[in-house]
Amino acid sequence: MARRSQSAPTVSQRISDFIARTRAEHIPAEVRETAKLHLLDGLATMLAGSKEQSAQLLCRHYSAISNRRAEASVLGSKIRLAAEHAASVNGLQGHVLDYDDAQLTTSPSRPMGQQTHPTSPVLAAVLALAESERAHGSALLASYIVGVEVACRLGDAIDASHYLDGLHPTGTLGVFGAAAACAHLLKLKPVAIRNALGIAGTLSAGLRATRGTMAKGLNAGRAAENGLLAAKLAGDGFTASENIFDDPMGFFSAACRNKVDDKLLQFGKPFFFTKPGVGIKLYPCVGVLHPALDLLLRLRQRYGLVPERIKSISITLDADAALPLVYPQPKDALQAKFSLQFAVAVALADGAAGLQQFSTERVRDAKIHKLMKRVALIRRPATGYGQKIGRKIGIDTQVEIATEQGVIYGARDRIARGHPARPASRAEIEEKFCQCAGAVLPAKQIEKCLENFWTLERAASIASWTHAFCPPQR
């Protein structure tokens, strides 16, 4: 890992300088347009997640304590909460379905190819703040880009031990992205920004043990809430360590054993959205499954495969890449998102792997259970985190399907659709938005949302713009 000289600016100084100097008009048009695709994707997942039990429970909790401060909207509902609480609920909604975008890393040594989900905590925080502050659309977009940049660059630079040791990067890193976005929107001075980062650092939290439970989404929600809180407190004069990353007792020490690639901590040079990019999910499940699902659905369509005539299905992954696949027999929809056996079975049965497939009803379907028994996960020997495994990126995935007639169909790939190497089109993202919004918004309103969205930068006030993503008042 590269080390910084004693005279070089601290990481907190670099981040605060980047936030303070970045203006909306200085962000390249390509970055803004790519970011808008991800922002729309984030709104989609928040709308879809609004129907989840965990979202409704959290919303009910905050409704009881913030009804005197109706500052910001809970997307997909008629409820308004205090900004911090709205951020928490929207952040959970964005992540609970595991359908939100995923930051890629520049190192091929990361078997999963990613470290965090940036949009859910960053967008949830800055959207709530922008609504409460009645900020204009261009300010929201710029601050969102800044927040994603900070979260992703930190995620790219820290050692993979952060993930291996059990921390959930969407929570632990998302709070810095949320704080950065909110500090930018509030136009904090560099010293206040460093204090905001310090507050965010001491509030950083999230454990991977929550996978397959309601609490995993809560990690994103609390990251959004705590990042917003950090920026507002710092703006009011609240102090914290101004060197939260490099301090001997700071974040890098606690989070990754001080193993940091310093050369990767270059903010906005270029923006992460354009290089290496951020992946958009086209399936609501853990990212390691996406290449396999692409291959399975392709083989099913090409050869007209019928589930009843399939004898066995094997999926081969590197052992490191298979780490999140911890539920061979999932009990509900949350666990199913981390089950290779279920994802493969339901995709082959339905010829699809969308929101309707990853439901508790489908998890309990006897036909799916029967097909799951024919699915095998084969783990290649682990290549090891931190080891160079070549220049190729992605998740090396091999699929073999054997029929009862003795025919074997196979395919192998590394990159799923939605990866920047195979980017999701605007049409695909709009289709995803329509599917996600369909459960909570009328069709005409969804159409109007899309029309208004692409003129986001001309919105005079996010306070009125956000209302389009909530059910109409009766």
Q: How far apart are the first and last CA of the chain?
A: 58
Domain count, the chain: 2
Residue 216 CB neighbour total at 10 angstroms: 25
* Predicted local confidence at residue 108, as pLDDT: 62
Give the model's confidence band at 345: pLDDT under 50 very low, under 70 low, under 90 confident, else very high. Answer: very high
Does 206 share its domain with 341? no
Does 242 share its domain with 305? no
> Has residue 1 been placed in a domain?
no
> Has residue 22 been placed in a domain?
yes
Residue 343 CB neighbour total at 10 angstroms: 29
Q: Which two tokens stand for residue 127?
A: 């959207």
What would the pLDDT profile of 113-159 be if each residue is shown by its tens digit? 568 999 999 999 999 999 999 999 999 999 999 999 999 999 999 98
Does 231 share its domain with 301? no
Give the model's confidence band at 327: pLDDT under 50 very low, under 70 low, under 90 confident, else very high. Answer: very high
> Has residue 440 been placed in a domain?
no
Residue 209 CB neighbour total at 10 angstroms: 12
Upper half-sphere CA count for residue 444 (Cβ side, 13 Å): 1
Q: Is the pLDDT of residue 109 over 80?
A: no
Q: Which two tokens stand for residue 291?
A: 């290449």
Does 227 share its domain with 333? no
Residue 340's φ and ψ, nearest 5 degrees, are -65, -40
Does 296 share its domain with 244? no
Q: Which two tokens stand for residue 390?
A: 């070549």
Give the lowest-confidence range in 106-110, 237-241, 280-284, 411-415.
106-110
Q: Is the pLDDT of residue 353 over 50?
A: yes
Q: Is the pLDDT of residue 391 over 80?
A: no
* Predicted local confidence at residue 160, as pLDDT: 85
Does 140 share its domain with 253? yes
> Has residue 335 been placed in a domain?
yes
> Has residue 196 been placed in a domain?
yes
What would the pLDDT profile of 374-383 be if each residue is shown by its tens digit? 999 999 987 6
> Has residue 347 been placed in a domain?
yes
Residue 78 CB neighbour total at 10 angstroms: 11
Q: Please state, in angstroms and rounded to a whole number, the distance separating the CA atoms of residues 449 and 442.
A: 11
CATH number at residue 299: 3.30.1330.120
* Predicted local confidence at residue 65, as pLDDT: 83
Distances (CA, A) of 169 to 152, 153, 271, 311, 364: 10, 12, 20, 39, 31
Give the lowest-confidence range in 134-148, 274-288, 459-473.
459-473
* Predicted local confidence at residue 472, as pLDDT: 80
Mean pLDDT to the nearest integer, 83-107: 94
> Of 390, 413, 436, which residue sits at a domain end?
413
The mean of the pLDDT values for the chain is 93
Does 21 share its domain with 124? yes
Distances (CA, A) of 116 to 101, 152, 186, 308, 438: 9, 7, 25, 38, 27
Q: Please state, in angstroms and rounded to a whole number, the distance separating the CA atoms of residues 199 and 194.
A: 9
* Predicted local confidence at residue 173, as pLDDT: 97
Any residues with CB less than 8 A from the CB of 67 and at least 6 apart, and which? none
Give the model's confidence band at 67: pLDDT under 50 very low, under 70 low, under 90 confident, else very high. Answer: low
* Predicted local confidence at residue 386, as pLDDT: 38
Residue type, 331: K
> Has residue 434 been placed in a domain?
no
Upper half-sphere CA count for residue 312 (Cβ side, 13 Å): 8
Give the lowest-confidence range in 76-80, 321-325, 393-397, 434-438.
393-397
* Predicted local confidence at residue 7, as pLDDT: 72
> Has residue 236 been placed in a domain?
yes
* Predicted local confidence at residue 69, as pLDDT: 77
> Of 374, 393, 413, which residue sits at a domain end?
413
Radius of gyration of the chain (CA): 22
Q: Is the pLDDT of residue 106 over 90?
A: no
Mean pLDDT to the nearest integer, 36-65: 95
Q: Is the pLDDT of residue 271 over 80?
A: yes
* Predicted local confidence at residue 390, as pLDDT: 42
Does 272 share its domain with 307? no
Does 312 share its domain with 199? no
What would the pLDDT profile of 163-198 be if each residue is shown by its tens digit? 889 999 999 999 999 999 999 999 999 999 999 999
* Predicted local confidence at residue 464, as pLDDT: 86
Mean pLDDT to the nearest integer, 285-303: 96
Q: Is the pLDDT of residue 206 over 50?
A: yes
Distances (CA, A) of 58 to 50, 127, 408: 11, 18, 48
**Contact assessment for residue 318 and residue 382, using Cβ atoms and an 8 Å cutoff:** yes
Percent of the chain with pLDDT strictly greater than 90: 85
* Predicted local confidence at residue 5, as pLDDT: 53
Does 309 share its domain with 223? no
What would the pLDDT profile of 406-454 be if each residue is shown by its tens digit? 999 999 999 999 999 899 999 999 999 999 999 899 999 999 899 889 9
Q: Please state, in angstroms and rounded to a whole number, the distance separating the CA atoms of residues 238 and 260.
A: 28
* Predicted local confidence at residue 68, as pLDDT: 66
Tell me the pairing of strands 408-413 and 397-403: antiparallel
Does 201 share its domain with 170? yes
> Of 279, 306, 324, which residue sits at a domain end?
279
Q: Is the pLDDT of residue 111 over 60?
A: no
Strand partners, 81: 72
Domain that holds residue 271: 11-279
Does 153 share its domain with 31? yes
CATH number at residue 56: 1.10.4100.10
Q: Please state, in angstroms and rounded to a whole number, the distance separating the CA atoms of residues 175 and 78.
A: 26
